[in-house]
Chains A and B, each alone.
Chain A
Amino acid sequence: MLRLSLDAKTVERCHEISENITSRVIDELSSLSTVAIERTVARFAGIEGVTADGVPLANVLVSHLVEKGKIHDGVAIHLANACLALGKTPAGISEMISRGEIDISNLEWQGTEEVTRKAREICKDSLDKIRARRAEREVLLEQLPVTQTPWLYVICATGNIHEDAVQGRLAASQGADVIAVIRSTGQSLLDYVPHGITTEGFGGTYATQANFKLMRDALDEESHKLGRYVRLVNYCSGLCMPEIAYMGAVERLDMMLNDAMYGILFRDINMERTFVDQNFSRMINAYAGIIINTGEDNYLTTVDAFDAGPSVLASQFMNYHFAKKAGLRDEQIGLGHAFEIDPSIEDSLSYELAMALLVRQLFPDCPIKYMPPTVHKKGDIFTSHVLDSNFNLVSVLTGQTIHLVGMLTEAIHTPLIQDRYLSIRAAAYMRQAAKHLGHNLEVKRGGLLEARATSILDDTLKLLERVNEQGLFAAITEGVFAGVKRLRTGGKGREGVFKKSRWYFSPVEEALRAGLSGESLGEGPIQD
Chain B
Amino acid sequence: MGTVIRHGHDRATSGAKVANTPHSDLVLPYGDQFNDGIVQVSFTLPVAAGALAEEAARQTMKLMGLEEPQVAEVAPIGENATFFVGYGKLTRPVELSKLRIAKPMWEELDQITINRLVQETLGRAMVVVGAATGQDAHTLGLDAILNYKGFAGNRGLEAYSALKVVNMGSQVPNETLVAKAREVSADAVLVSQVVTERNVHLANLTNLVELLEAEGLRDKVVLVVGGPRITHALAVELGYDAGFGPGTRPQDVASYLAQEVARRVLN
Q: Which residues of A contact B (CB under 8 A)?
A: 159, 170, 173-174, 184-186, 188-189, 202-203, 266-268, 301-303, 378-379, 411-412, 414, 416-418, 421-422, 483
- Shortest CB–CB separation between residue B150 and chain A, in angstroms? 11
Kindly state the separation between the CA atoms of A421 and B85 in the bound complex, as whole angstroms. Answer: 13
Taking CB atoms, residues of chain B closer than 8 Å to A268 are 169
Interface-forming stretch among B6-14, B58-66, B75-83, B109-117? B75-83
Assess whether B81 is in contact with A417, with CB atoms less than 8 Å apart.
yes
Taking CB atoms, residues of chain B closer than 8 Å to A421 are 75, 77, 83
- For the complex, is B137 an interface residue (Cβ under 8 Å from A)? yes
| Sample of 30 A–B contacts (CB below 8 Å) | A159-B197, A170-B77, A170-B81, A174-B77, A185-B136, A185-B137, A185-B171, A185-B195, A186-B137, A189-B137, A189-B171, A202-B135, A202-B195, A202-B197, A202-B200, A203-B195, A203-B197, A267-B137, A302-B140, A302-B143, A378-B247, A411-B228, A412-B228, A417-B44, A417-B77, A417-B78, A417-B83, A418-B42, A418-B43, A421-B77
Kindly state the separation between the CA atoms of A412 and B138 in the bound complex, as whole angstroms. Answer: 15
- Shortest CB–CB separation between residue A205 and chain B, in angstroms? 11
Assess whether B197 is in contact with A170, with CB atoms less than 8 Å apart.
no
Taking CB atoms, residues of chain B closer than 8 Å to A414 are 197
Whether A418 touches B77, Cβ cut-off 8 Å, given contacts A268-B169, A411-B228, is yes
List 9 A-B pairs, minimum CB-CB distance, nearest first: A421-B77, A202-B135, A203-B195, A186-B135, A418-B83, A170-B78, A418-B44, A185-B137, A185-B135
Kindly state the separation between the CA atoms of A411 and B140 in the bound complex, as whole angstroms. Answer: 12
Nearest CB in chain B to that of A173: its residue: B78
Assess whether B246 is in contact with A411, with CB atoms less than 8 Å apart.
yes
Assess whether B246 is in contact with A378, with CB atoms less than 8 Å apart.
yes
- Shortest CB–CB separation between residue A11 and chain B, in angstroms? 31
Q: Which residues of B contact A (CB under 8 A)?
A: 42-44, 75, 77-79, 81, 83, 135-140, 143, 147, 149, 169, 171, 195, 197-198, 200, 228, 246-247
Kindly state the separation between the CA atoms of A379 and B78 in the bound complex, as whole angstroms. Answer: 26
Kindly state the separation between the CA atoms of A174 and B147 in the bound complex, as whole angstroms. Answer: 41
Taking CB atoms, residues of chain A closer than 8 Å to B246 are 378-379, 411
- Shortest CB–CB separation between residue B56 and chain A, in angstroms? 15
Pick the most buried of A203, A303, A378, A411: most chain B CB atoms within 10 A of its CB: A203
Taking CB atoms, residues of chain A closer than 8 Å to B136 are 185-186
Taking CB atoms, residues of chain A closer than 8 Å to B78 are 170, 173-174, 417
Kindly state the separation between the CA atoms of A159 and B195 in the bound complex, as whole angstroms. Answer: 12
- Shortest CB–CB separation between residue A480 and chain B, in angstroms? 15
Taking CB atoms, residues of chain A closer than 8 Å to B139 are 266
Known contacts A186-B137, A417-B83, A483-B149; 17 further A-B pairs (Cβ under 8 A): A159-B198, A185-B135, A186-B136, A189-B137, A202-B195, A202-B200, A267-B137, A302-B140, A302-B143, A378-B247, A411-B228, A412-B228, A417-B44, A417-B81, A418-B43, A421-B77, A421-B83
Pick the most buried of A184, A185, A302, A379: most chain B CB atoms within 10 A of its CB: A185
Assess whether B44 is in contact with A188, with CB atoms less than 8 Å apart.
no
Kindly state the separation between the CA atoms of A372 and B198 in the bound complex, as whole angstroms. Answer: 26
- Shortest CB–CB separation between residue A189 and chain B, in angstroms? 6
- Shortest CB–CB separation between residue B79 and chain A, in angstroms? 8
Q: Select one of B79, B81, B83, B137 contacting A188, CB under 8 A.
A: B137
Assess whether B44 is in contact with A416, with CB atoms less than 8 Å apart.
yes
Nearest CB in chain B to that of A189: its residue: B171
- Shortest CB–CB separation between residue B204 and chain A, in angstroms? 10
Kindly state the separation between the CA atoms of A418 and B135 in the bound complex, as whole angstroms. Answer: 28
Kindly state the separation between the CA atoms of A186 and B200 in the bound complex, as whole angstroms. Answer: 14
Kindly state the separation between the CA atoms of A449 and B28 in the bound complex, as whole angstroms. Answer: 48
Assess whether B135 is in contact with A303, with CB atoms less than 8 Å apart.
no
Pick the most buried of B136, B147, B197: most chain A CB atoms within 10 A of its CB: B197
Nearest CB in chain A to that of B247: its residue: A378
Taking CB atoms, residues of chain B closer than 8 Å to A266 are 139
Nearest CB in chain B to that of A374: its residue: B140
Kindly state the separation between the CA atoms of A411 and B138 in the bound complex, as whole angstroms. Answer: 13
Taking CB atoms, residues of chain A closer than 8 Å to B43 are 418
Taking CB atoms, residues of chain A closer than 8 Å to B195 are 185, 202-203
Nearest CB in chain A to that of B148: its residue: A483
Nearest CB in chain A to that of B80: its residue: A170
- Shortest CB–CB separation between residue A196 and chain B, in angstroms? 20
- Shortest CB–CB separation between residue A285 and chain B, in angstroms? 23
- Shortest CB–CB separation between residue B51 and chain A, in angstroms? 20
Kindly state the separation between the CA atoms of A184 and B135 in the bound complex, as whole angstroms. Answer: 9
Taking CB atoms, residues of chain B closer than 8 Å to A379 are 246
Nearest CB in chain B to that of A171: its residue: B78
Taking CB atoms, residues of chain B closer than 8 Å to A422 are 83
Taking CB atoms, residues of chain B closer than 8 Å to A418 are 42-44, 77, 83
Kindly state the separation between the CA atoms of A483 and B42 in the bound complex, as whole angstroms. Answer: 40
- Shortest CB–CB separation between residue A25 and chain B, in angstroms? 24
- Shortest CB–CB separation between residue A331 and chain B, in angstroms? 31
Kindly state the separation between the CA atoms of A202 and B197 in the bound complex, as whole angstroms. Answer: 6
Kindly state the separation between the CA atoms of A421 and B197 in the bound complex, as whole angstroms. Answer: 21
Nearest CB in chain B to that of A298: its residue: B140
Nearest CB in chain A to that of B136: its residue: A185
Taking CB atoms, residues of chain A closer than 8 Å to B200 are 202
Kindly state the separation between the CA atoms of A421 and B43 in the bound complex, as whole angstroms. Answer: 12
- Shortest CB–CB separation between residue A235 and chain B, in angstroms? 12
Kindly state the separation between the CA atoms of A339 and B252 in the bound complex, as whole angstroms. Answer: 28
Kindly state the separation between the CA atoms of A416 and B81 in the bound complex, as whole angstroms. Answer: 12
- Shortest CB–CB separation between residue A413 and chain B, in angstroms? 8
Taking CB atoms, residues of chain B closer than 8 Å to A184 are 135
Nearest CB in chain B to that of A484: its residue: B143
Kindly state the separation between the CA atoms of A184 and B198 in the bound complex, as whole angstroms. Answer: 13
Taking CB atoms, residues of chain B closer than 8 Å to A302 are 140, 143
Kindly state the separation between the CA atoms of A184 and B200 in the bound complex, as whole angstroms. Answer: 13
Taking CB atoms, residues of chain A closer than 8 Å to B135 are 184-186, 202-203
Kindly state the separation between the CA atoms of A379 and B138 in the bound complex, as whole angstroms. Answer: 19
Kindly state the separation between the CA atoms of A268 and B167 in the bound complex, as whole angstroms. Answer: 13
Nearest CB in chain A to that of B140: its residue: A301
Assess whether A303 is in contact with B149, with CB atoms less than 8 Å apart.
yes
Pick the most buried of B43, B77, B138: most chain A CB atoms within 10 A of its CB: B77
Nearest CB in chain A to that of B138: its residue: A185
- Shortest CB–CB separation between residue B197 and chain A, in angstroms? 5
Taking CB atoms, residues of chain A closer than 8 Å to B143 are 302
Taking CB atoms, residues of chain A closer than 8 Å to B198 are 159
Kindly state the separation between the CA atoms of A411 and B141 in the bound complex, as whole angstroms. Answer: 12
Nearest CB in chain B to that of A169: its residue: B78
- Shortest CB–CB separation between residue A18 and chain B, in angstroms? 27
